[in-house]
Amino acid sequence: MNKWITLVVGAVLCVGCSAPFSQSKSPMTRPSFNADSAYSYVSAQVNFGPRMPDSKAHTECAVWLVQQLKRFGAEVTLQQGRMINYAGHEQQIYNIIASFVPQGSQEERILLAAHYDSRPWCDEEDEYSQRFQGVPGANDGASGVGVLLEIARQLGIKQANNEPFTPTDIVLFDCEDMGTPAFYTGQQRENTWCLGSQLWAREYAYGTEMPLDLKYRFGVLLDMVGAPDAVFPKEYYSVQFANDYVETIWRIAQRLGHGRYFSAALSYPITDDHYYVNTTTGIPMVDIIHYDARGNAGFASWWHTTEDDMRHIDRNTLQAVGEVVMSLL
């Protein structure tokens, strides 16, 4: 993802509909979520190597993700398309969509998403020679996907036991992190980040491929959700487009005892996959993202460097995020 460096001017718009969930602040029942399992899914992705678009590791990881999601009982579809990348070339995109819809359910769905690609360049490295290798992407990519795979496993168990849950689609976006590298001197293009979600959102809003009855109540995006010192502020666009859901999610985090991760601070606008979902489809989508304005770049020191590896993944953080998201289903 990319941070908007422009200063935010003007008031934050709040979406004015009724609160979607209970307002209670009392402790709530802890949902099933296994952090060891989520951790192993993060590690398995990192073990493929950097999942840069068009690489062998990217393809192998995509195949593995589809296998896992099918094994958990999801109906999996691959959305393919082409987008223009930072260099003006056509970029092949493969979004992975896993659907869990309990039989007979007419409810609107919840959309959960993360990106499974990793950035092709460590362009935040001080050392010039290291900038041309792929980011290991343990946090930036694999952490969100790891949490969602464990959620998929839990939904599969519920589905098998005929336990109720909200119909849920898990979308693993491709090519989120291929935005113009810092060292690129060619023509600067707009909208070079989040190519997979741009494709998905455009297809949802204007395309003919998706079923007409595909309706979402809201969405949650996970990005960089594994660091031991993770701080998730209320991200600017999330507040602008999906404030009721931000409030609900942050309140659930408090009630589950995970308030140390979910900060009341408002962040800068962050160009992440949820931006395109919000602006193109109108589905209100919240980004849970590790951002800390006290840092130089606003992101952790390992961000877009060779250091974004398993040393910065903590089971407690995965557990906190997993429980909060599971509570919404």
With binding defined as CB under 5 A, does residue 235 bind Zn ion?
no
Q: Which stretch binds Zn ion (CB under 5 A): 65-73, 137-145, 207-215, 282-290?
A: 137-145
Shortest spacing between CB 177 and Zn ion, in angstroms: 4
With binding defined as CB under 5 A, does residue 177 bind Zn ion?
yes
Contact 12, 236 (CB under 8 A): yes
CB-nearer residue toward Zn ion: 177 or 247 = 177
How many residues sit in the footprint of Zn ion (CB under 5 A)? 2
**Any idea how long the chain is?**
329
Tell how strand 75-84 and strand 270-271 pair up: unpaired
Shortest spacing between CB 223 and Zn ion, in angstroms: 8
CB-nearer residue toward Zn ion: 140 or 169 = 140
With binding defined as CB under 5 A, does residue 125 bind Zn ion?
no
Among 117, 140, 244, 308, the residue binding Zn ion under the rule CB under 5 A is 140
- Where does residue 263 rank: exposed (0-12), middle (13-18), buried (19+ CB within 10 A)? middle
Shortest spacing between CB 241 and Zn ion, in angstroms: 21
Contact 47, 136 (CB under 8 A): no
Shortest spacing between CB 287 and Zn ion, in angstroms: 13
With binding defined as CB under 5 A, does residue 124 bind Zn ion?
no
Q: Which stretch binds Zn ion (CB under 5 A): 176-184, 213-221, 226-234, 316-324?
A: 176-184
Give the DSSP per-residue string, 234-292.
E-HHHHHHHHHHHHHHHHHHHHTT-TTTEEEEEPPPEESHHHHHHHHH---EEEEE---
CB-nearer residue toward Zn ion: 144 or 322 = 144
Tokens matching residue 85? 């990348």
Residues contributing to the site for Zn ion (CB under 5 A): 140, 177
